[in-house]
Amino acid sequence: MIRRGKDLLTLTPEYRSRWVCFPCRKMFRKDPGAAAVVCPQCRRPMIDMGCYFETPAQSDRKMWSLLQRLAEAGYRFRTEENRATFYAPDATGARTPSARTVMLRMRAWLSKGGK
Ligand SMILES: [Zn+2]
């Protein structure tokens, strides 16, 4: 959603892109397409994962590692559909599926050539 300020156009916080540093397991919200963003902690370039990226707990190394695989395969969470591919509620109705569920969805997605 776009909110119009006096003279500037800004995105409401929930639609700002999630810029991620996988080595540090950190996320910052910035407008999509912002000029090269570097991680304030390690100074490595951050990746714009899209506004539908869900940031795992910093301690959830397994999920971060899975998401890094997706990022390296070029996957971004720019539409709700992208998010649903991996995070949609499962048959148990859990809002956040387990890492195993996400991993199985990733495997299925990768076996179809990432489509
Ligand atoms: Zn970093």
List pLDDT tens digits, range 9-56.
566 777 788 999 999 999 999 876 667 889 999 999 999 999 999 898
Residue 92 located in a structural domain: yes
- Quote the ligand 1 centre to 54 CA distance (angstroms): 17
Domain total for the chain?
A: 1
Q: Which domain holds residue 102?
A: 11-109
Residue 55 located in a structural domain: yes
Nearest to 82, CA basis, from 37, 51, 56? 51
- Quote the ligand 1 centre to 65 CA distance (angstroms): 14
Q: Give how far Cα 21 sits from Cα of 2, 11, 42, 67, 111, Å.
A: 26, 22, 9, 11, 26
Spatial separation of the C-alpha atoms in residues 73 and 87, rounded to whole Å: 17
Helix 61-72 vs helix 99-111: crossing angle, to nearest 10: 20
- Quote the ligand 1 centre to 111 CA distance (angstroms): 30
pLDDT band at 114 (very low <50, low <70, confident <90, very high): low
> How many residues are present in the chain?
115
- Quote the ligand 1 centre to 43 CA distance (angstroms): 6
Mean of per-residue pLDDT scores for the chain:
83
Residue 114 located in a structural domain: no
Question: Model's pTM, two decimal places?
Answer: 0.76
Neighbours of ion ligand 1 (CB under 5 A): 21, 24, 39, 41-42
